[in-house]
Amino acid sequence: MNLIGDKPAPIQAGGPNGGKSAHIKDGTDASFMADVIEASKTQPVIVDFWATWCGPCRQLTPALEKAVTAAGGAVKLVKIDVDKNPGYSGQLRVQSIPTVYAFVNGQPVDGFQGAVPESEIKA
């Protein structure tokens, strides 16, 4: 989350932060099975469905990234741009963004829609 008065960081073409951390990556419809379903069989995976034009996404995504980084590899974050990758967002019935799902053992086990305060995000 941003401090009062701060402007949200712009979301870059590769997604917020460009997916540069070892535990954070940009996913696609083509990579979803490997990045999310298969990976969640050995480690919990958080999936962040977002879009470049989404203001609340600009607040939520950095908070998710911070929590995942702080978890030190206990969980992985996969960011899916819904405009470029509508397949799995449609299958999972994502109707608004940001939408976040947690996957364990290949299945979605929890999730939420909309931006939430950083204090409520724990990886």
Catalytic-labelled residue, pool 45, 54, 63, 77 = 54
Q: Is residue 22 part of a domain?
A: yes
pLDDT for res 20:
56
Give catalytic status of residue 18 as yes or no: no
pLDDT of residue 123: 66
118 in catalytic set = no
Do residues 15 and 79 lie in contact, with contact meaning Cβ atoms separated by under 8 Å?
yes
High-pLDDT (> 90) share of the chain, %: 72
- Structural domain including 71 reads 17-106
Give me the catalytic one of 24, 36, 46, 57: 57
**For the segment 3-54, what is each residue's pLDDT rounded down to a tens digit?**
333 333 333 334 444 445 789 999 999 999 999 999 999 999 999 999 999 9
Residue 117 lies in a domain: no
**Domain containing residue 102: CATH number:** 3.40.30.10
| Stated pTM of the model | 0.81
Report the chain's terminal Cα–Cα distance, integer Å.
15
CA dihedral 62, 67, 73, 74 (to 10 degrees): -140
27 neighbors 35 (Cβ within 8 angstroms): yes
**Which of left, alpha, beta for 59 (phi over 0: left; psi -120 to 50: alpha)?**
alpha
Residue 116 within a domain: no
Least confident of 18-22, 27-31, 67-71, 109-113: 18-22
Q: Which residues contact 21 (CB under 8 A, 6 or more apart)?
A: 65, 68, 69
Q: Which two tokens stand for residue 70?
A: 């702080």
